[in-house]
Structure 1
Amino acid sequence: MYKQLNKISVSAVIVTIISLSIPQVSIAAPKGFKTPSGNIFCELMEGEDVNTNTLRCEIASSLKPQPPQPYPGYCEFDWGRGLMLPGQSKPEILCISDTIADPNKSVLGYGQTWNYGGFKCVSQKTGLTCTNTIGIGFFLNREKWRVFGLSQP
């Protein structure tokens, strides 16, 4: 009886050691994606809650037409490489010195929708459309971009 308990105890310790050494894999929705063309990459920048989350989307081919900077020297890095969409306000043009482009990101296939952190993005052959919880968003492709959902003054 003692030998059986000892074998069970040793087995439990081995299983515990093995399970602690295996990296934990999250089964939650991915915090980012890329389009099938590999030209657009998006990633959720988590805030304290859904309202303070931000979605960052970069386009390798840059925004076309290139938007003017608010004033000369405003951005000393890469201007117009994509858009930042806050959870509760209008998109902002990126001025970045880094990138979220990662070839290992999950592909959001054409016709698929990504819902995460208060944002919804729809991938289509014509481009990518993303919106926040209050319906403000943007459309983005190689040839053009636009912002929508803003109330008119």
Structure 2
Amino acid sequence: MTARRVAVALLSIFTCVSAAHAASQSIPASSEGQVEFNTPSGNIGCIYTPKGGTSTYQPQDGGPELSCSRVEPSYVTVILGPKGPATLIKNPGEQGCCSDVTKLGYGNSWSKGPFSCQSSTKGLSCTGSNGHGFFLSKAKVSAK
């Protein structure tokens, strides 16, 4: 094999490994199973709560649950459960979004239980295994 072919083969392997590594991001859970992450802009923050909830929070339907909030230009929260469509709350009373937690990098995805999310410079898109989901960005909010 020529030096050029070896270099091309190594570059191909490196590119595939880098792309695969960047695609899925692991975010550690708390001792009670909750996972928190923000988008790199800090404008969107999410909390995953496992089935059965935690000692301080139990999802309305027993869980699991994914709740994401957007800060700007107006504060909204979207809650996705294991059944049915996502619930959009346009004026949530509590506004505690976006503490200093792990960032889900642009171009990366995260998944836990029935939920998966994809972060991009355009916004955050999350879906459940039931096909329902939502999209959050500074410019747009949609839930299905």
TM-score over 0.5 for the alignment? yes
Query: How many pairs are equivalent?
Result: 105
User: Match of 2:87?
Assistant: 92
CA 1:28–1:144: 2 relative to 1, 3 Å = closer
Displacement, 1:28?
A: 6.9
2:78/2:143 contact within 8 Å kept: no
Letter of the structure 2 residue corresponding to residue 39 of structure 1: N
Across the aligned residues of Structure 1 and Structure 2, the Cα RMSD in angstroms comes to 2.4
The one of 71, 75, 82 equivalent to 1:60 is 71
The one of 101, 113, 125 equivalent to 1:105 is 101
Structure 2, unaligned runs of 5 or more: 1-25, 30-34, 54-61
1:34/1:106 contact within 8 Å kept: yes
Structure of larger gyration radius: 1
Letter of the structure 2 residue corresponding to residue 53 of structure 1: P
1:42/1:100 contact within 8 Å kept: no
User: Match of 1:140?
Assistant: 136
The one of 22, 42, 45 equivalent to 2:49 is 45
CA distance in structure 1 between the aligned counterparts of 2:27 and 2:140, rounded to whole angstroms: 32
CA distance in structure 2 between the aligned counterparts of 1:133 and 1:32, rounded to whole angstroms: 20
1:121/1:130 contact within 8 Å kept: yes
Secondary structure in structure 2 of the residue aligned to 1:32: strand
Secondary structure in structure 2 of the residue aligned to 1:110: coil
Letter of the structure 1 residue corresponding to residue 72 of structure 2: S
CA 1:144–1:29: 2 relative to 1, 3 Å = same
Q: Deviations over 1:84-122 (max 9, x none)?
A: 111221111225332452432100000011111321000
TM normalised by structure 1 equals 0.60
User: Match of 1:35?
Assistant: 39
